[in-house]
Amino acid sequence: MQMKDILTVSQLNDHIKALLEEAFTSLWVEGEISNLRRPGSGHIYFSLKDDKSQIRAVYFRPYGYNRARSTAFDLEDGAKILCRARLSAYQPRGEYQLIVESVEPLGIGALQKAFEQLKARLASEGLFDDIHKKALPFMPARIGVITSPSGAVIRDILHVTRRRFPSVNILIAPARVQGTEAAGEILQALRHLQKSGLVDVIIIARGGGSLEDLAPFNDEVLAREIFRCSIPVISAVGHETDFTICDFVSDLRAPTPSAAAELAVPQRSQLLADVNDLQQRLTAAKRRYLDEQRMRLTSLQARFKDPRRFLIDFQLHLDDLRERLERAMNSAGRFRHDQLHKLKMGLRHASPERRVREKQILLAHLEKSLHNFWQSDTAARRERLIRNTALIESLSPLAVLQRGYSITRHLPSYDVIKHTGGLKPDDRLSITLARGHIEARVEKISGE
Amino acid sequence: MAKEKFEDAMDKLEAIVREMEAGQMPLDSALKSFEEGIKLIRYCSTRLKDTERRVEQLLASDDTLTTRPFANEGDDEP
Probe site for chain A from B55, B64, B66, B70 (most A CB atoms < 10 A) = B55
Residue B72 confidence (pLDDT): 59
H helical segments located in A396-440: 397-402
Which ipTM was obtained for this model? 0.76
CA distance to partner chain A, nearest, from residue B36 (Å): 10
CB-side neighbour CA atoms (13 Å) of A192: 25
Which of A173, A272, A288 comes nearest B48 by C-beta?
A272
Residues in chain A, pLDDT under 50: 67-72
Contact between A169 and B21 using a beta-carbon 8 Å cutoff: no
Pair A145, A154: CB distance under 8 Å: yes
Read off the DSSP letter of residue A426: T
- Inform me whether the C-beta atom of residue A162 falls under 8 Å from chain B C-beta atoms: yes
Strand A407-410: give its sheet, edge to edge: A415-416, A407-410, A428-432, A437-441
CA distance to partner chain A, nearest, from residue B58 (Å): 5
- Inform me whether the C-beta atom of residue B75 falls under 8 Å from chain A C-beta atoms: yes
Query: What's the rounded Cα separation, in Å, for the pair A359 and A355?
Result: 6
H helical segments located in A84-219: 110-125, 152-164, 182-196
Q: What is the pLDDT of residues A121-146, one digit of tens each?
A: 999 999 999 999 999 988 888 999 99
Q: Which residues contact A26 (CB under 8 A, 6 or more apart)?
A: A84, A86
Cis peptide before A62 (omega within 30 of 0): no
- Search chain A and give the residue with CA nearest B7: A138
Contact between A159 and B76 using a beta-carbon 8 Å cutoff: yes
| Alpha-carbon distances, residue A131 vs A127, A227, A264, B27 (angstroms) | 9, 12, 20, 46
Pair A253, A71: CB distance under 8 Å: no
Residue A407 confidence (pLDDT): 86
Contact between B67 and A171 using a beta-carbon 8 Å cutoff: yes
Probe site for chain A from B18, B48, B56 (most A CB atoms < 10 A) = B48
- Inform me whether the C-beta atom of residue A134 falls under 8 Å from chain B C-beta atoms: no
* Contact list, A171 vs chain B (CB under 8 Å): 56-58, 67
| Alpha-carbon distances, residue A30 vs A46, A291, A390 (angstroms) | 13, 82, 212
At how many degrees (to 10) do helices A268-303 and B2-22 cross?
30
Q: What is the pLDDT of residues B11-45, one digit of tens each?
A: 888 888 888 888 788 888 888 888 888 888 888 88
- Inform me whether the C-beta atom of residue A139 falls under 8 Å from chain B C-beta atoms: yes
* Contact list, A159 vs chain B (CB under 8 Å): 76
Residue A201 confidence (pLDDT): 95
- Search chain A and give the residue with CA nearest B20: A285
* Contact list, A149 vs chain B (CB under 8 Å): 57, 70, 72
Specify the amino acid at residue A67. R
Strand A201-206: give its sheet, edge to edge: A252-253, A233-237, A201-206, A142-147, A169-174, B55-61, B64-69
Probe site for chain B from A153, A172, A274, A280 (most B CB atoms < 10 A) = A172
Query: What's the rounded Cα separation, in Å, for the pair A136 and A244?
Result: 20
Contact between A167 and B51 using a beta-carbon 8 Å cutoff: yes
Residue A390 confidence (pLDDT): 79
Residue A1 confidence (pLDDT): 52
Q: Which residues contact B36 (CB under 8 A, 6 or more apart)?
A: B12, B16
| CATH superfamily of domain region A113-266 | Succinyl-CoA synthetase domains (3.40.50.261)
Pair A239, A205: CB distance under 8 Å: no
Residue A447 confidence (pLDDT): 73
Task: Give φ, ψ of B50 to 5 degrees.
Answer: -55, 125
Residue A68 confidence (pLDDT): 42
Using the CB atoms, write b or e for A24-56: b if 16+ within 10 Å: beeeebebbbeebeeeeeebbbbbbeeeeeebe
Helix (H, G, I), strand (E, B) or coil at A99: strand
* Contact list, B49 vs chain A (CB under 8 Å): 167
Residue B67 confidence (pLDDT): 86
Query: What's the rounded Cα separation, in Å, for the pair A211 and A115?
Result: 9
* Contact list, B69 vs chain A (CB under 8 Å): none
* Contact list, B16 vs chain A (CB under 8 Å): 282
Residues 415-434 of A with CB under 8 A from B: none
- Give domain A9-107's CATH architecture: Beta Barrel (2.40)
Specify the amino acid at residue A253. R
Query: What's the rounded Cα separation, in Å, for the pair B59 and A45?
Result: 46
- Search chain B and give the residue with CA nearest A156: B76
- Inform me whether the C-beta atom of residue B36 falls under 8 Å from chain A C-beta atoms: no
List the domain boundaries for chain B: 2-71
- Search chain B and give the residue with CA nearest A290: B27
What is the separation, in whole angstroms, between the first and last Cα of chain B?
A: 32
pTM for the full predicted model: 0.51
- Inform me whether the C-beta atom of residue A192 falls under 8 Å from chain B C-beta atoms: yes
CA distance to partner chain B, nearest, from residue A13 (Å): 56
Contact between A174 and B57 using a beta-carbon 8 Å cutoff: yes
